[in-house]
Amino acid sequence: MTISFLDLPLEIRVQVYALTFGSGKVLLEVPYGENSACLIPRNSTFRTYTSRSSQLLRVNKMILVEAREVLYTNTTFHIFSHVFAGRLPTRTTDGHGCAPYIRHLIWQLDCDIMMRFYPEDLKIDVDHARRWKSLELHCRADTWQNSFLGESCDREAFIKGREQLIAYATEFQHVMSSPHLISQTAKLVEDRSQLDLGRLIVSLKRNRKCQGQDGILLG
């Protein structure tokens, strides 16, 4: 009797998908100078080309549903933008095709100055954010550079920027955490290894060891 692939137990099929896709990172770049209001903007362009094939997703609908989850779970999406006056995004996405499936997201902003963030403007897409397993926020402003050393920066702007970024991440922490399961709590960690470069890094992670050599657990 012939046994088809779909006759195999789901656990084995998932292992096959994982071996087929492997793991990796893709870089998406926002057009230079464009200050997007979204973490995952639709007009961002893929800058990473990978040898991983997506042909398996086209076999049939069942394999698409099963394999797509494995592919996205093992892929980190890194969104990068460079502008003069930076702002923290107020929305999750404006319709990017990958947004509903992303599980690991890095959002990076390099700017000259950082504009003020108003929490009341933030509109989190709960359906998207609750699916995330990790979120990293990287912000660098020229006016913050060398702030860790003291005087060659706008220290007041740096302190306010750090407070804003942590408050911003905390909003996502509430959404990503389950009130019923401790194992589904997203831990907020600050990486202070690049403060002298004017770069702030905070991350939210589920089900992982959250405190490393350069990581300070904030909540």
C-alpha span between 29 and 37 (Å, rounded): 14
Instruction: State how many domains the chain has.
Output: 1
pLDDT at 126: 92
Per-residue pLDDT averaged across 176-192, rounded?
Answer: 79
Q: Environment class of residue 126 by beta-carbon count within 10 Å: exposed (0-12), middle (13-18) or buried (19+)?
A: exposed
pLDDT at 49: 67
Q: Show the domain range for 106.
A: 24-44+72-205
One-character DSSP codes across 68-101: HHHHHHTEEEEEEEEEEEE---SEEESS-TTGGG
Q: Does residue 175 fall inside a structural domain?
A: yes
Q: Does residue 52 fall inside a structural domain?
A: no
- The reported pTM is 0.87
* SS3 at position 218: coil
Asked if residue 134 has pLDDT above 90, the reply is yes
pLDDT at 101: 94
Q: Does residue 14 fall inside a structural domain?
A: no
Q: Does residue 176 fall inside a structural domain?
A: yes
